[in-house]
A and B are shown apart, each in its own frame.
Chain A
């Protein structure tokens, strides 16, 4: 991808997570950027990229299936399930609102990648019954801490922004804090468990 980057494509999100972890651990790259089916590796210069190219190939060829499982202890995110789209999600999934909440909190999620805004986690691996389309008309302003669903993913808005995800709840967890290293609470690979915060 240009003079200073390689785009590596794999079969699945699980592959992306494993490849990202292996490339981060074993490669001196400028940036390793996971996405849905690809990992982007960038180098400081064209010469540096030439050196990285063979290593990248070696690392992804050697990917052991065991690396695909992340055994980190999950980060708990407390959520008030009071989102404006909770009823719509229940309708779309043919579940009750309580069942939507139970499904969202019932299985751990994993941060596949971060994007859209600093610290915005794209969470995967949740209950497949929660698969819903994005809203037909995106909102012009989604508040910070809003917890949403789109496709088979869940996400949390770190700060106010426009957005098209179906909002099912909200959290006070500080997703993005410049004073923290790293500033993102949920970097790629993090396991997340949502917990219902009852008033």
Chain B
């Protein structure tokens, strides 16, 4: 029989994601793809999958799936209770799910987005070269619903690694910021790292909204509008209200708010794990990187 993954319950939000669609930003389509690249790539690596195989991105846990045919899977990212056929199982290691058995993910105790990688990858039809759901451009598969049956691709030649990958330490350190192109628009760029920020509930795959003491512009820029310019994942845009927004995987390709700083790639991944309501600190990079 053809191997497949049946969705019994998607939880609050489960999407299919891979490395996205680079190269189309000039046509108005952003890269999209897994919000936490590190966690997503780790799952595929532990299963012997090539880097671009599609996985499930599970926001806030609650996913419940059933294997059709025996599957080998791996859970990475946000820490959540995992059960396979009712028995507790470990994250960051290949798991066998026998034909007809269920896998369930609880609500995360740390982090926001878990990844369920499947050996062979989720093999739905790609759109513009990717199986990712882009929630902003509305390209790719729709969010998963109970009853969806997802085909699984042929297992890769490489065998799964038997080793267990240690998860990133929680709680998270401050996110590391490189200077952005419009840093000179701000009266006190240092305020970015001295302010205690809180993750706002309006955050999603487009961006993490932070609330805290407003970042003021220099007087000469207070009433200036920036012409739209290209944006990147991890960019920290600051609208006139002074409350920064960290752009995530589904960010608009261009934006009209000045970018004060840009997270390192690793910190952009960690930003995707921030839970609304939690505190977070940002710190200017010590200079190991160039802007």
Contact = CB atoms under 8 A, between A and B. Distances in A.
B22 A42 contact: yes
Query: Chain B CB within 10 Å — which of A7, A46, A115 has the most?
Result: A115
B56 to A, nearest CB: 23
Contacts of B22: 30-31, 42, 44
B232 to A, nearest CB: 5
Contacts of A114: 26-28
Interface in A112-140: 113-120
Interface in A17-48: 20, 30-40, 42, 44, 46
A11 interface: no
Contact of A116 (B24, B28, B259): B28
B265 interface: yes
A199 interface: no
Nearest to B29: A118
B139 A118 contact: yes
Given A113-B26, A116-B252, A187-B27, A35 B227 contact: yes
B262 interface: yes
B27 A38 contact: no
Nearest to A7: B181
Q: Is the interface of B mostly helix, strand, loop or mixed?
A: loop
B159 interface: no
B270 to A, nearest CB: 14
B178 A2 contact: yes
A1 interface: yes
Contacts of B231: 40
Contacts of B291: 1-2
B109 interface: no
Nearest to A122: B228
A178 B232 contact: no
B203 interface: no
A56 B128 CA distance: 27
B23 A1 contact: no
Interface in B19-71: 22-29, 31
B90 to A, nearest CB: 31
Q: Is the interface of A mostly helix, strand, loop or mixed?
A: loop
A7 B22 CA distance: 17
Contact of B230 (A40, A117, A120, A182): A40
Contacts of A162: none
B107 interface: no
A31 B139 contact: no
A59 to B, nearest CB: 16
A120 B26 CA distance: 10
B137 A33 contact: no
A35 to B, nearest CB: 4
Nearest to B137: A118
Contacts of A42: 22, 25, 232
Contact of B265 (A1, A4, A36): A4
Nearest to B232: A5
A2 B234 contact: yes
Given A5-B232, A30-B23, A178 B289 contact: no
Nearest 6 pairs of A and B residues by beta carbon: A40-B230, A2-B262, A36-B227, A33-B230, A115-B254, A184-B27
13 contacts: A2-B178, A2-B234, A2-B265, A5-B262, A30-B23, A36-B228, A37-B229, A38-B227, A38-B230, A40-B25, A114-B27, A118-B139, A188-B26
Given A5-B262, A38-B229, 11 more contacts: A1-B291, A3-B289, A30-B22, A30-B23, A33-B25, A33-B254, A36-B227, A37-B227, A115-B252, A116-B28, A119-B28
